[in-house]
Structure 1
């Protein structure tokens, strides 16, 4: 029960109004030390309830004795990596603060700069993205000297997006005594450790829902494909034959996202596309239409992998394999939330296999192998892995007929290595793969004449 926390009565009233009953593990672990004023470093996966874990202590601190106070400057700042995540966080703050005098405002790119500057003089809590806040700081619009609470949410993602210097500068501008709460989905690398050392003072470290502990209700499958055209066929088949309420298809590039979107629209799927080249109006429209059910399928790049919280999202398809284990977790973390069942399917070409295997090792999991009979391709994974059992993480010992160990045969001398070709649509040159299938062969340059 939330009543176990020493929260202001107005916040407990809001919690009851919102039908929040049992706090999540991250809330149980983070709220008490945050209420004590401790700096926190929290690792918790997306969808674990971490927003309430920092919003409630923040509001409690600003409320104090509950009496309204004249606002002289900003009192709290919440930094987030994307506009979508900032917009959702603003809604959460407003819901929890509905019975208080506290006002929150949003500062992100794509909105009128002068209107934002005027709004800064009327709010207690500022929620925004680092790049836009730096622009206001450069214009002298951002007074941070009186900030009492600084929250860095999705800190690992902000570093991945190149915001390290901006975040550091904004943290340093909060020059008065203040509490810092840093949340991330992963432990991050040296860059995140350096940030923690610079912006947190004697922090308490909490690790919950480690990145390898994915949503239990999400099944993870892979389907091998011969090429991108084959992947497009598989996407169409899955969206036609799987049972789902809403689905997201992730690509690594906006060019592929636009191409796939066009294909699906031509097949009369209710689809929208979301990537970094879309303006703010289109991005809002895409997310709202998906939430409202006007469209069932969203084709997106990783701009949507963080901060997208849509009820009924139960199918995620990785058209392209994400470039890291962390990004994989953020993508499939869109589905299987709050005990619901979800399905995550990754389409694997020969160029994706090594990356897929490395993500399996990172997560210490093995993805379920699946085949679509109607669209079964020629590529089924590296041949030597299938033959030796290494794909399952085991090594088979060669034995003779009597059960004894059998010496491995040496390769015949002067036997030229064979090269496999991957079937591709007409017009594309076949890709060359090494005999073990693990890495593309480099074409030898012709000798100088």
Structure 2
């Protein structure tokens, strides 16, 4: 299949694709759409930014158009891990279904519960939501899934990471048994994913299009060493002032650091929004809207945004903190270079993050490009000695023993002072026969005096 015209999609979908100037499917779309149209359950592994949303959205809309059922409850349910991703999926449904009468509603946390319940009572054909809020509506009796024809689990590996496994399985159990289920992820997901696949899919076809290691070749990956947090902050300021980019995201590992970094950049007269889990829905929506509109060029975010951002023109990602795993690294830098576009990903590495960075390189089987900014050259330029795996050379046994002793509350053992050899002290003690008084030493007879 070389064009969407080869799929014989409904003419209203073809018209929408033409207006959006989308003619050639991506590899994941070319593989998944025909199988989904044939009615198969699918398990699809494809890298971030490969066009997975249209891969399930087009067959969903096509089947809803082909078989009109006006008096039924919700016919399709799309589960996603974050509000931002759910909002973006709704916009894509509206764009692809612009010439249809299909209605879709969003059900996520942070919005008025009663308003959502009222919208659900109108029986929209498609519901798009996050597991936690959907479970709340299920328990309140607002969610009816007995007529469901298609269930989509998008970013399913991320839902597992966020602890939504039980909620997803419960929602799937409420759906009609004869439904079609499509599961999409960027990673294989391990044993937890296998359990989810076995519980929700029936004789699925597996499409393993990409490994997590298959990153977009057009994304330049760089590493810059840093001494400490303040040095990193100066590096971020320099990069945002000197790099060529349209929009940028700075990722941190903690909410506190995100807020701090946002304040530093605002003090540099940059228009910045901060996005993390403690921000309410109104602030999060405003941040995404401003970024997409171009009113703000820089977003500082924690990993809550790593799976939920799809912004055109986002071509620079800065890892202020190195992500904790190779999968998270992939999802972060996947915000740039989407659908074949170019981009740059720069990671700032302090001494304590070197081994983590080396492990991620090894996991991805890639070598990052090392970069030095002369104007902000620090003291730490990398370990003096490296192991064959790229990690810093050192005594692992000593480090492990120190950690174990620290956990047990033991203090480091002090070396005993070495006693000086003394012939007097080495002699056995003489029994005290004078009740503590000094013994008068008798002089030897010198002999007769001539």
Q: Counterparts of 2:183 and 2:168 in 1: how far apart (Å)? A: 12
Q: Which residue of the partner structure matches residue 400 of structure 1?
A: none
Q: Which residue of the partner structure matches residue 62 of structure 2?
A: 60
Q: Which residue of the partner structure matches residue 162 of structure 2?
A: 161
- State the shift of 1:111 in Å: 0.7
Q: Which residue of the partner structure matches residue 177 of structure 1?
A: 178
Change (3 A) 1:348 1:436: farther
SS of corresponding position for 2:222? strand
Q: Does 1:27 align with 2:16?
A: no
Change (3 A) 1:390 1:18: closer
Q: Which residue of the partner structure matches residue 197 of structure 2?
A: 196
8 Å Cα contact 2:149/2:176 also seen in 1 = no
SS of corresponding position for 2:380? coil
Q: Which residue of the partner structure matches residue 105 of structure 2?
A: 105
Q: Counterparts of 1:89 and 1:279 in 2: how far apart (Å)? A: 20
Q: Which residue of the partner structure matches residue 95 of structure 1?
A: 95
8 Å Cα contact 2:292/2:312 also seen in 1 = yes
8 Å Cα contact 1:353/1:438 also seen in 2 = no
Q: Which residue of the partner structure matches residue 6 of structure 1?
A: 8
- Higher mean C-alpha deviation, range 236-245 or range 127-136: 236-245
SS of corresponding position for 2:381? coil
Q: Which residue of the partner structure matches residue 131 of structure 2?
A: 130
- State the shift of 1:76 in Å: 0.5
Question: Under a length normalisation based on structure 2, what TM-score does the superposition of the two structures give?
Answer: 0.86
- State the shift of 1:390 in Å: 5.7
Q: Counterparts of 2:49 and 2:375 in 1: how far apart (Å)? A: 36
Q: Counterparts of 2:399 and 2:105 in 1: how far apart (Å)? A: 50
- State the shift of 1:434 in Å: 5.2
- State the shift of 1:158 in Å: 0.3
- State the shift of 1:350 in Å: 1.6
SS of corresponding position for 1:186? coil
SS of corresponding position for 1:328? helix
Q: Which residue of the partner structure matches residue 250 of structure 2?
A: 249
Q: Which residue of the partner structure matches residue 446 of structure 2?
A: none
8 Å Cα contact 2:246/2:313 also seen in 1 = yes
8 Å Cα contact 2:48/2:331 also seen in 1 = yes
- State the shift of 1:438 in Å: 12
Q: Which residue of the partner structure matches residue 118 of structure 1?
A: 118
Q: What are the Cα deviations for residues 217-240 of structure 1, in whole angstroms up to 9, with x where unaligned?
A: 110011111111111111111111
- State the shift of 1:439 in Å: 6.5
- Structure 2 stretches of 5 or more lacking a match? 415-450
Q: Does 1:297 align with 2:262?
A: no
Number of matched pairs = 406
- State the shift of 1:389 in Å: 7.0
Q: Does 1:366 align with 2:367?
A: yes
Change (3 A) 1:203 1:247: same
8 Å Cα contact 2:51/2:339 also seen in 1 = no
Q: What are the Cα deviations for residues 159-195 of structure 1, in whole angstroms up to 9, with x where unaligned?
A: 0000000000000100341000000011111101110
Q: Counterparts of 2:299 and 2:398 in 1: how far apart (Å)? A: 32
- State the shift of 1:118 in Å: 1.0
Q: What are the Cα deviations for residues 54-87 of structure 1, in whole angstroms up to 9, with x where unaligned?
A: 001111111225xx53232110000000000000
SS of corresponding position for 2:311? coil
Q: Which residue of the partner structure matches residue 40 of structure 2?
A: 38
Q: Counterparts of 1:157 and 1:367 in 2: how far apart (Å)? A: 25
Q: Counterparts of 1:374 and 1:448 in 2: how far apart (Å)? A: 44
- Higher mean C-alpha deviation, range 42-51 or range 208-217: 208-217
Q: Which residue of the partner structure matches residue 79 of structure 2?
A: 79
Q: Counterparts of 1:38 and 1:247 in 2: how far apart (Å)? A: 39
Q: Which residue of the partner structure matches residue 311 of structure 2?
A: 310
- Structure 1 stretches of 5 or more lacking a match? 394-419, 421-432
Question: Under a length normalisation based on structure 1, what TM-score does the superposition of the two structures give?
Answer: 0.86
Q: Counterparts of 1:51 and 1:110 in 2: how far apart (Å)? A: 23
Alignment counterpart, residue 50 of structure 1, candidates 49, 52, 60 = 52
Q: Counterparts of 1:278 and 1:34 in 2: how far apart (Å)? A: 37
SS of corresponding position for 2:238? helix
Change (3 A) 1:135 1:341: same
Q: Which residue of the partner structure matches residue 432 of structure 2?
A: none
**Which of the two has higher C-alpha Rg?**
2
Q: Which residue of the partner structure matches residue 231 of structure 1?
A: 232
8 Å Cα contact 1:225/1:377 also seen in 2 = yes
Q: What are the Cα deviations for residues 363-411 of structure 1, in whole angstroms up to 9, with x where unaligned?
A: 10011111111222222222211xx7763x9xxxxxxxxxxxxxxxxxx
SS of corresponding position for 1:329? helix
SS of corresponding position for 1:383? coil
